[in-house]
Amino acid sequence: MTRLTIEGTFEFVLKNPEAFTIGVAGMSGSSLKMRQKVQEALGDLAEDIRIYQLLSMLSDAAIKTVSAVLIRQMFTISPGYIDAPGKREGIRKTACDLMITLAAATRTLPVFRAAMGALRHI
């Protein structure tokens, strides 16, 4: 499912390259309207993850966090994906690995925090 999600995203990138090029520039730019559009995209991805139960093991808050990181990363790597057809397979693999890593890390974060808290008392 992760691979299909990433592939679908990159298909959309190739069909709408201008949107991603502009989006990269607008993610942290001075245009409030553009930053708001990026935030809407974050919400859309989080909702898709919930609807399709892609990361069902995560809380809604964790899904929101993972979505924010993924969207930012997808916007950041999209120009390279558009401009370098020979590197697309590697970029897709990296994006899939990132999504899996984020989900795993987010899932284990409470356990890690608890362990760190316990170590402070030793």
pLDDT single digits (tens) 22-81: 777 777 777 788 778 777 766 677 777 778 777 777 788 888 888 888 888 888 899 999
Instruction: Report the pLDDT value the prediction gives residue 102, as an integer from 0 to 100.
Output: 85
Vertex 9: Cα angle to 70 and 27 (nearest 5): 50
d(CA 61, CA 64): 5
Identify the top-confidence range among 11-20, 77-86, 93-102, 112-121. 77-86
Assess contact for 107 and 58: CB atoms under 8 A.
yes
| H helix intervals, the chain | 2-15, 17-26, 32-51, 60-83, 88-120
Do the Cβ atoms of 54 and 108 come closer than 8 Å?
A: no
Per-chain mean pLDDT for the chain: 82
Q: Which of the two residues, 113 and 82, has the higher pLDDT score?
A: 82
Question: Alpha-carbon Rg of the chain, whole angstroms?
Answer: 16
The whole domain housing 45 covers: 2-120
User: What six digits make up the tokens of 102?
Assistant: 């984020």
Domain count for the chain:
1
Q: Are 54 and 60 in contact (CB under 8 A)?
A: no
DSSP code of residue 59: -
